[in-house]
Structure 1
């Protein structure tokens, strides 16, 4: 039998303040220099409030990243695979490398996932969600007849995200030109 949760209910205002504070601090200081204490102080909440809702700093950051992706990296149907890929990758790269760059944050979370097996599972769920969005975009192209029979959607998604992760991990530039190039190459490869 499930036990009822005790304690105060999670305040949406506090949640938003914590997530916004974490992103602000991450952009200012980088993942390694941000602490739970700093996030709590910036958000105007107690550190215990954060730990009541999230098991670690990495989990706070992951939720902030998830919310950002939900609102800024939308899956759009522009009618053809190359356009859909270019739009998705451009939005993804803008979030990672733009004026509010989250690329260094992703590198920090990837490093954290290598050190914390429990967090690695949650980070893997985030990655799987993003892969599913890209896979559905490619599946639409399959249904439109733009993709050759027998093409592995999973391998195509690996190639696209692989290029992104390679550049992120080596701190190489990603942006609209790379998005357009990857979209064109991927479309040619699957025809």
Structure 2
């Protein structure tokens, strides 16, 4: 929707912020499955029609609220070396493991709704990949990653492990995993 202008009143930034904050609060209290537009509207102090005017579904509201949270919660580290950058990035990423039910809900919605899937990939999944790519590209420029290394595959390894553990919960997403994953990526990139 970038560049498109919707008809009607422009968004009130205060109302938008209240809706996004309400969505996060509802998510924290109730979880994604029990989240409703009605509950978000009640908590935000606005009407459901206001939410539906700006977002087409609860998944869209949740996605936008998570994007804002990710902007502040997961900063792009610049520690001066690939191992330190990766550890800082993975530690911040894995610290968001409390968002598991929400992310699983959004992934499920993406599997059911092709339009939402395109938005979820573009706005969330690809944006997170881009952040990791910046770290890896920086390491290539510093000579820490061998020329010709498949950076996209390294990114797939990180997010493949993340999503696999998110979905199955067979093993933890913790600092120890961050250390092991960092060591694996360093070894694979030389």
- Normalised to the residue count of structure 1, the TM-score between the two structures is 0.93
Corresponding residue number in structure 2 for 1:115:
112
Range with greater deviation from structure 2 (173-182 or 19-28): 173-182
Corresponding residue number in structure 1 for 2:152:
154
Corresponding residue number in structure 2 for 1:63:
64
Deviations 1:41-88 (A, max 9, x none): 111111110111111110100001100111110111111111101111
Over 3 Å off, 4+ runs: 2-6
Corresponding residue number in structure 2 for 1:181:
180
Corresponding residue number in structure 1 for 2:94:
93
Corresponding residue number in structure 2 for 1:106:
103
1:170 aligns with 2:180: no
Deviations 1:101-153 (A, max 9, x none): 21111000000000011000000102111101101110000000001121100
In 2, the alpha carbon distance for the partners of 1:114 and 1:3 equals 26
CA RMSD of aligned residues (A): 1.5
Residues 156 and 26 from structure 1, CA distance in 2 versus in 1: closer, same or farther, beyond 3 angstroms? same
Deviations 1:136-187 (A, max 9, x none): 1100000000011211000000000100000000124212221122112211
What SS does the aligned partner of 1:147 have? coil
1:139 aligns with 2:140: no
- Normalised to the residue count of structure 2, the TM-score between the two structures is 0.93
In 2, the alpha carbon distance for the partners of 1:62 and 1:84 equals 26
Structure 1 residue runs without a partner (length 5+): none
What is the number of residues matched between the two proteins?
186
Range with greater deviation from structure 2 (168-177 or 12-21): 168-177
How far is the alpha carbon of 1:189 from its aligned partner? 1.6
Matches within 5 A, 1:2-41: 5-41=6-42
Corresponding residue number in structure 2 for 1:44:
45
Residues 4 and 164 from structure 1, CA distance in 2 versus in 1: closer, same or farther, beyond 3 angstroms? closer
